[in-house]
Amino acid sequence: MADTPTLEAIVSLCKRRGFVFQASEIYGGLAGFYDYGPLGVELVNNIKQEWWRAMVREHDNIFGVDGAIIQNPKLWEASGHVAGFTDPMVEDLVTHKRYRADHLANTDSTDLAELKELLKDMKSPDGNALSEPRVFNMMMETFIGPVGKGDDAAAVQFIDSSFFETEEGKAFSVRIFEKTQLAYLRPETAGSIFTNYDNVRETMRAKLPFGVAQIGKAFRNEISPRDFIFRVRELEQMEMQYFIPPADQEEVYQRWRDFAWDFLFNRLGIAESNLQWHEHDEKERAHYAAAAHDIYFNFPQGFKELWGTHNRTDFDLSNHARVSGKDLSYFEESTRERFIPYVIESSVGVGRMLMAVLTDAYHEEEVNGEQRVVLKLKPSIAPYRVAVSPLLKNKPELVAKAREVYSMLKKEFGNVMWDDNSNIGKRYRRQDEIGTPYCVVIDFDTLEGDTANTVTVRDRDTTKQTRIVISELIESLKD
């Protein structure tokens, strides 16, 4: 296995080649927010499509939803986020910068008394005194209207001006205001899965066990976003909640652990040496969870959480049933039993998955006496499957034939790049760096002689070049 690249190397590649940009960069950016560039959005979409295919389309009993980002605030009260979605925080008393107290203390504990003791003699990263630890709710607030009344009203909002006319014909206007209600940008995507559990069960005539999957944005007001796209304030999650009879929890839990590992290794091509399991102890585990395991990936900053598999028991459906008054129990006809289903959760962040894929694929190596950076991405998720080039862009006959081959491949694969800038060596290096598995070159041998109607196909990983007949090119690239 190649050495793990530095964070600086990954950030530089992402900016240089158009994978990830700082959000609103021309205005100085905004901490914890990033934009995906042309190559980043292609790679991310390929990863999401691969996950959706493996999770939803290859299972008969898993169904997709796409919930709203803003939900009724009672959802987050029932889930415990209003009271408990907190992190311990300390503040630099001079600069007023805020930091996660558990991170500064290098501990997994979030107990305030324990953190106070660990941090009593510690200075901030700027060398200043720190405040005592306190809790900080990470949900992002917003306001909606016109549903608020009385104590629910959080603000007043101008909505319209209406014009009236007196009996004397004089016009006047009245400014109309309405009350607005406090709401939250969702901190996770699971909430709308639980509130749609009964809708999915009824409309899809689903019997236990069945799952509900979702890919979508979530927002967390992180105290100290850091490590590039590893810890951010706007993130995207791929989650699946699997509803089961309580008696099946151990077998199903292990099955979804196996699924996560297999997906990373076989579907994304991540080296197993970069993966390891981490089991949550009682201090780490949520109070309602019967078990929790994370797959850790060897990021530039060390082994950190990538993919979580959690046994959430019946906590979620029980709480939503209690707060909403809706009966969310399940009747099992074969045993004549009624119960609240248990839930096994499979959850991974898209940004972290992208960062893991880039880190695993990133290699610096010497080829023919020259250094190159190459992303050894699995072809099925690479931003571009093929790059097509005429050997010389000032030779019309080469360009015309290359365009013909390009159109043929684009119709078949879709994600095909046209590249005629610089000499052929520089083109190869550029395509290596963005992870393109194959480069197809149309040269003078393509046009005449015994090699007419053949092209050169160059393999990214081995750099080996092969002559292939154009009529066989599509099948060859598929293989």
102 occurs within a structural domain = no
107 occurs within a structural domain = no
**Cα–Cα dist 311/286, whole Å:** 10
**Cα–Cα dist 469/475, whole Å:** 11
Q: Which two tokens stand for residue 179?
A: 């009350």
Residues 171 and 299 in one domain: no
351 occurs within a structural domain = yes
Residues 29 and 46 in one domain: yes
Give the pTM. Answer: 0.85
Task: List, for residues 278-311, the tens digit of each pLDDT value.
Answer: 999 888 888 889 999 999 999 999 999 999 999 9
Task: Give yes or no for residue 475 having a pLDDT over 50.
Answer: yes
* CATH code of the domain containing 312: 3.30.930.10
Task: List, for residues 331-382, the tens digit of each pLDDT value.
Answer: 999 999 999 999 999 999 999 999 999 999 999 998 888 899 999 999 999 9
364 occurs within a structural domain = no
129 occurs within a structural domain = no
**Cα–Cα dist 249/237, whole Å:** 23
Residues 157 and 215 in one domain: no
pLDDT at site 148:
45
Give 368's DSSP letter: T
Residues 265 and 198 in one domain: yes
Residue with the larger pLDDT of the pair 170 and 118: 118
Residues 199 and 314 in one domain: yes
Residues 171 and 204 in one domain: no
Average pLDDT, integer, range 411-435 = 94
The secondary structure element, H or E, covering residue 441 is strand 438-442
Residues 192 and 310 in one domain: yes
* CATH code of the domain containing 468: 3.40.50.800
Last residue of a domain, one of 120, 152, 184: 184
**Cα–Cα dist 179/249, whole Å:** 46
352 occurs within a structural domain = yes
By residue range, what is the domain housing residue 145? 140-184
317 occurs within a structural domain = yes
368 occurs within a structural domain = no
Residues 48 and 63 in one domain: yes
- CA separation, residue 36 to residues 14, 22, 186, 431 (Å): 9, 9, 21, 19
Residues 165 and 46 in one domain: no
Residues 244 and 294 in one domain: yes
Q: What is the largest CA-CA distance in the chain?
A: 97
Q: Look at the chain and report how many structural domains it folds into.
A: 3
pLDDT at site 135:
77
**437-469 in b/e burial notation, b at 16+ Cβ within 10 A?**
bbbbbbbebbeeeeeeebbbbbebeeeeeeeee
Residues 336 and 445 in one domain: no
Residues 422 and 459 in one domain: yes
